[in-house]
Each structure stands twice: as structure tokens, then as C-alpha cells.
Amino acid sequence: MTVRVLLADDQALLRGTFRLLIDSCDDMEVVGEAANGNEAVALARTHHPDVVLMDIRMPGSDGLAATGVICADPELAGTRVLILTMFETDEYVAKALRVGASGFLGKHVTTDTLLAGIRTVASGEALLSPGATRALITRFLATPAPDNLMAPPERLNELTPREREVTVLTAQGKSNVEIAADLFISVLTVRTHIQRALTKLGARDRAQLVVIAYQAGLVRTSPTLR
């Protein structure tokens, strides 16, 4: 399957560089380029890409606003947003995840990391494994904005004890392999539990599942990270 990518960055040179890199891969293609958030939303609705590679700071509607619109559009349920930016601040990471982004990378990453990130997000996984990102999630998503909850806390009652356990470990930043080892179950079983939790909580992907877990208080901030 070819991963269809939409580029959203206000710098034409960077878009051209990303296009050359992505189009050089047999399993990827660039389907459009946007110079601002409004264009990104319009082109996403036109092309229905698998992944939008989204810059945060752009003129007019920025990347965070565009991400929120794309992720809230039921017609774009199959589109994931990967944030790529120079501004790797705590606030930006938290906001990007809250509005529905599936991943967050700095523009300093290697080409291999970028391409792997696109593939990871396209597969429905989230880029939440690095230690720094775990700390950011723990610190900022544990204090939810009441008007920005992705799912009411009572929805957690729909989860089975095992699904709840797997959700907690996912929110702690553990991979499927690590969760399987911790619970003495297979990786396939972990994936099944995660998929059922996603469905019951109405989450688009693993990133939103993590946000919901913190917002609902299923996982709380570690005192050492305050």
C-alpha cells in the first residue's frame, strides 16, 4: 500500500525537500502541498491523504488549528496528522496531542526517522515512545481542560479490567511488546485490547487513547515530574 502524504509548511524550500525525500520511497507519494493551515484543510478534504505532515507556525490559520479541524472532520477519519516543527516546547506537544495529532517530531530529526515516523503514523500507531514525550504527556495531559475532554470519564466504565490495564500501560508510553511482556500475553492480544478500547472510547488512534486516559484521570501525574 502506498502512503499518501500531504505537506503543510509555509517554506517552499522545505516542502520541495520533503517532496523529493518522500517521493523517492517506493511506498510513499506526496499528493499535495499547503503553505498555511487553511490550505492544509482544503487539500486534505480534496485528497484524503493518509498522513498530513504539518508545521505548527504558518501564516493565517496555523498548524494546530488546522490539525483540530482535520481531526474533527468525520470525512477525514482515515487521515492522521504528524506535527513537524522547530518549536518542540511542552505547550506545543500537549496542544498538538489534545487536538488530535498522532505524532510530534522536531525538524532536526534524521531522514530515516522522519520516514519511519510517517509510516508509523500511517499504520495507526502514535509517536509516543521517546522518554521526553512520555514526560510531557504525563506533565501536561494530567490536568485536562474541562471544555476540551475527548471522552467523558464515565466512558471508561465500558472497558473491561484487562482493556483498562492495557490502556494504562499505553498511556505510560509503553510499546505493544513491552505491554505484552508486563502482562504475559501476546502482542496480538495487546493489539486486540487496544483496538477495543479505541472503539469504546471513540478514539481515532493510540495518541487520542493516551489523551483520554490522562484527561479521565485513569493515569495521573508523577510527583517527580511537577
Give me the pLDDT at residue 87, please.
60
For the chain, residues classed under CATH 3.40.50.2300 are: 3-127
pLDDT of residue 170: 85
Q: What is each CA distance from 94 to 10, 83, 104, 107, 194, in whole angstroms?
A: 22, 12, 10, 18, 22
pLDDT at residue 120, rounded to an integer: 85
Q: Where in the chain is the domain with CATH 1.10.10.10?
A: 146-225
Euclidean distance between CA atoms 17 and 62, whole angstroms: 21
So what's the pLDDT on residue 34? 97
In CATH, the number for domain 146-225 is 1.10.10.10
Per-10-residue mean pLDDT for the chain, 226 residues long?
A: 95 95 96 96 97 90 92 93 74 76 82 90 70 51 55 80 93 84 93 92 80 77 42
Is the CB of residue 221 less than 8 Å from the CB of residue 136? no
End-to-end alpha carbon distance in the chain:
43
Task: Give the pLDDT of residue 139.
Answer: 54
Are the CB atoms for 63 and 55 separated by under 8 Å? yes
For residue 162, give the nearest of 191, 138, 128, 141 by alpha carbon.
Answer: 191
Indicate the class that CATH gives domain 3-127.
Answer: alpha beta
Above pLDDT 90, what percent of the chain?
A: 48
Please give the pLDDT value at position 149.
56
pLDDT, residue 132, reads 41
pLDDT of residue 216: 78
